[in-house]
Amino acid sequence: MNVLITGGTGFIGQALTDYLCERDYHVYVLTRSPQEHTDTNKQTFIGYNYPNEQLPPIKSVINLAGESLFGYWTKTKKEFILSSRIQTTEKILAFMEKLPNKPDVFISGSAVGYYGTSNDLMFSESTTTPGDDFLAKVTTKWENVAKQAEKYNIRTVLTRFGVVLGNGGALPMMRFPVQLGVGGKIGSGEQWISWIHIEDAVKLIVFCMENKAISGPVNITAPHPKQNKAFMQTLAKVLKRPYWFPVPSIFMYTALGEMAGLITKGQYVIPQKALDHSFTFSFPYLQEALHHLHHK
């Protein structure tokens, strides 16, 4: 079976591609620079101008592309965070429109930032009112574009990612001060981190791809979020390092600007659809997830 992916060379995309190849899928990676990559017997790199008539039937399209959120959020950076997601999604829609045989499912990346931030509320896929901060507005616009795939009768899934834990993404940055012996809570420490192990993240994406009963938003998070203070304390315990050095919010905002809100604020997100459809998490609890990644 053939799957087409954008963002297939990124942190999540590479792990997903590897997992799909292990399951005997053939992965077509849609990229702006296919000439920079080497094809294998299970992986083919193609550009946006690749002739559709040369493609075999594509059963699933997965969009994980978008400008990284990490970095100082200047006006230009924020514009690019939004435009990169909208433009890539529009290109994929145009690509699918030209396919003589439409895919069965379109999985479009999104984020739990859709819900906004709160220390008190609990969010699930049944939450239909988005937040009003920058990331909530980005994800809302992004999802609205992605949902246009439904006019081609393509089942559409909006995967709202939490903090994906692995050897890429946010974890190395969170782990670094702890390894130096200056780990501690960030800001108030009360903010929720809705996290997920990278292996569960990719398995849940494929679960959504293969389960025809699933559509609409799906939270890609573990069932047990942690507050920042407990998260950092657990990380210190796994790394066998001290936990004592709190980092004030003002320091984070001075160093990172508006992007610091990703760290000093959060949301308690439950993967209700995954649970309702009996998805089995390999790492439902934080300590075992961190322990696995540390000893991998």
How crowded is the C-beta side of 216, counted as CA atoms within 13 Å?
Answer: 10
Q: Residue 132: is its pLDDT beyond 80? A: yes
Mean pLDDT of the chain: 94
Alpha carbon 31 to chain centroid, angstroms? 18
Instruction: Give the predicted TM-score (pTM) of the model.
Output: 0.95
Class of domain 2-294: alpha beta
Ordered alpha helix ranges (H), the chain: 11-22, 75-98, 134-146, 171-179, 198-210, 228-239, 249-256, 261-264, 272-276, 286-294
Segment 178-201 shows an average pLDDT of 93
Q: Find out whether 39 and 26 touch, Cβ atoms under 8 Å.
A: no
Contacting residues for 1 by C-beta, under 8 A, at least 6 apart: 24, 25, 26, 59, 60
Flag whether pLDDT at 275 surpasses 80: yes
Cβ atoms of 157 and 208 closer than 8 Å? yes
The string of pLDDT tens digits covering residues 145-169 is 999 999 999 999 999 999 999 998 8
pLDDT for residue 157:
98
- Cβ-proximal residues to 221 (8 Å cutoff; 6+ apart), any chain: 112, 160, 161, 162, 194, 195, 196, 269, 270, 271
Side chain identity, residue 273? K
Q: CA dist 97 to 71, 91, 171, Å?
A: 34, 10, 38
Query: Of the candidates 193, 131, 121, 133, which has an alpha carbon nearest to the alpha carbon of residue 161?
Result: 193
Q: Which residues of 101-110 are buried (b: 16+ CB within 10 A; e: fewer)?
A: ebbbbbbbbb
Task: Name the residue type at position 7.
Answer: G
Q: With the C-alpha atoms ordered 66, 71, 75, 77, is the resulting torsion angle positive or negative?
A: negative
Phi, psi angle pair for 159, to nearest 5°: -85, 110
Which one, of 131, 90, 91, lies nearest residue 111 by Cα?
131
CB 168 within 8 A of CB 11: yes
What pLDDT digit, counting tens, does each position of 55-66 carry? 999 999 999 999
Confidence band (pLDDT; 50, 70, 90) for 118? very high
The per-residue pLDDT for 173 is 84
